Amino acid sequence: MQIDLSNNFDALRQRVRAITDKYPGEYWRELDAERKYPSEFVDEFSKSGLLSVLIPTEYGGEGRSLSEAAVIMEEIQAAGCNGGTCHAQMYIMGTLLRYGNEDQKQRYLTKVAAGELRLQVFGVTEEHTGTDTTKLRTFAEKVDGGFKVNGHKFYIGRGQHSDLMLLLARTTPLDQVKKKTEGLSIFLVDMREVRGKELDIRPIRTTMNHSLTEIFIKDLFIPDENLVGELGKGFRYILDSMNAERLLIAGECIGDARYFIDQATDWANKRELFGRKIGQNQGIQFPIARAYASMRAAEMIVKKGTAMFDAGQKVGEEANMALLLASEASWEAGNAAIQTFGGRGFDANYDIERKFRETRLYQVAPISKNMILAYLSEHVLGLPRSY
């Protein structure tokens, strides 16, 4: 397929920058120190419509492509902000858009598009089963008019800062299905009424400010109308969202890499030692130049993957490679920036160390890079399944 690399989406980038300019390093530094959620930033982005660009115009969104959504996330990161605080809405809504019914879309998507509801929680991971998703233990038992859910979700982002959660739970026990991917279902949970009651949400402190939580679910009633798509088909539905998630977060990593490269270049051009700019030394400039090359190469795969996604093509290979290469490129750029800044690379006042902590996550979550390599080995190269 032909990929149009001429469109840089400059107008969209400027729209993002008009907001990010109001949220400089000091804003993120203060929140980081206290592990607080950037509510003003998320509210402003939500109201601007930029976090719901993927919602079609008939439900109040802008009906834009994944390529454009990835550009928005890239630009947020390149400005030094932390899109990890609000990116889930972008990829979760795909499941609702593709598999939700008309009533669900009218009830929820219109309000998400208007910035009135936050759809920021994707409840998949569990403590005991981790990457081995199909073994998850949260169970939704069929009862009159709906489902009764019990379980425990672990390492769930933004649990305390969302109105809605897309929840993956088992609806048929594992030993009663032919394939382990069957018997899992997706539910839309309205968290507003059940927070602190059927949902006990507890914060988990992490290396970076990510509003991570665990969610204990006890006798939660979910009405029939909040089942998304068909019963037992949920695993297939979330796979689509996961490819979108990988591509969007790869876009974020490109933004992080740009941030580090810009900062490192600027500092290398300013800092003078031994009577010359430190950037004149090849020991300083080569790691930045190499990180730039890695970032540009990864960017090509992100663009290819998002363009293929928008064209309705299969993107498993590209989405996985995009996240692998972009997360390694941002890490490499972060390392080059720390080296360039010397001691200041570890000084919170310069933001490099904060961004470095933030970008490291993307080699582990949303998917650990071992699982990406296992996917490529098995599904692309035809090697035996290793797990």
Ligand X SMILES: Cc1cc2nc3c(=O)[nH]c(=O)nc-3n(C[C@H](O)[C@H](O)[C@H](O)COP(=O)(O)OP(=O)(O)OC[C@H]3O[C@@H](n4cnc5c(N)ncnc54)[C@H](O)[C@@H]3O)c2cc1C
| Contacting positions for ligand X (CB under 6 A) | 122-125, 130-131, 155-157, 206, 210, 212, 361, 364-368, 370-371, 374, 386-387
- Rg, C-alpha atoms of the chain: 21
Cβ atoms of 211 and 37 closer than 8 Å: yes
Nearer to ligand X among residue 136 and residue 325 (C-beta): 136
Residues facing 203 on adjacent strands:
213
Q: Is 319 helix (H, G, I), strand (E, B) or coil?
A: helix
CB of 216 to ligand X, least distance (A): 15
Q: Can you give the length of the chain in residues?
A: 387
Q: Which residues contact 57 (CB under 8 A, 6 or more apart)?
A: 63
**For residues 212 and 204, is the Cβ–Cβ distance under 8 A?**
yes
CA angle 12, 112, 239 (to 5 degrees): 85
Which region, left, alpha or beta, applies to residue 272 given φ > 0 means left and ψ of -120 to 50 means alpha?
A: beta
Cβ burial of 240 (10 Å; 0-12, 13-18, 19+) is: middle
Q: State the burial class of residue 282 (Cβ atoms within 10 Å of its Cβ: 0-12, 13-18, 19+).
A: exposed
Q: How far is the CB of 138 from ligand X (least distance, A)?
A: 11
Shortest Å, Cβ 84 to ligand X: 8
| Residue 118 beta carbon to ligand X: minimum distance, rounded to whole angstroms | 13
- Nearest approach in angstroms of CB 154 to ligand X is 7
- Of 49 and 139, nearer to ligand X (C-beta) is 139
Q: Which is nearer to ligand X, 65 or 206 (CB)?
A: 206
CA–CA distance, 235 with 222 (Å, rounded to integer) = 18
Nearer to ligand X, 5 or 371 (CB): 371
102 within 8 A of 109, measured Cβ to Cβ: no
Q: Which is nearer to ligand X, 289 or 374 (CB)?
A: 374
Closer Cβ to ligand X, 156 or 184, answer by number:
156
CB of 17 to ligand X, least distance (A): 26
Residue closest to ligand X, measured at CB: 130
CB closer to ligand X out of 204 and 300? 204
The minimum distance between CB 96 and ligand X, in angstroms, equals 16
CA–CA gap between residue 253 and residue 231 (Å, rounded): 35
Minimum distance of ligand X from residue 122's CB (angstroms): 5
Give 107 or 357: the residue with its C-beta nearer to ligand X.
357
Q: Report phi then psi at 120, rounded to 5.
A: -120, 5
For residue 232, how many C-alpha atoms fall within 13 Å in the half-sphere facing its CB? Answer: 11
Q: Which tokens belong to 324?
A: 């692998």
From the CB of 207, what's the least distance to ligand X, in Å?
8
3-state secondary structure of 148: strand
User: Considering beta carbons, is residue 243 or 285 the nearer one to ligand X?
Assistant: 243
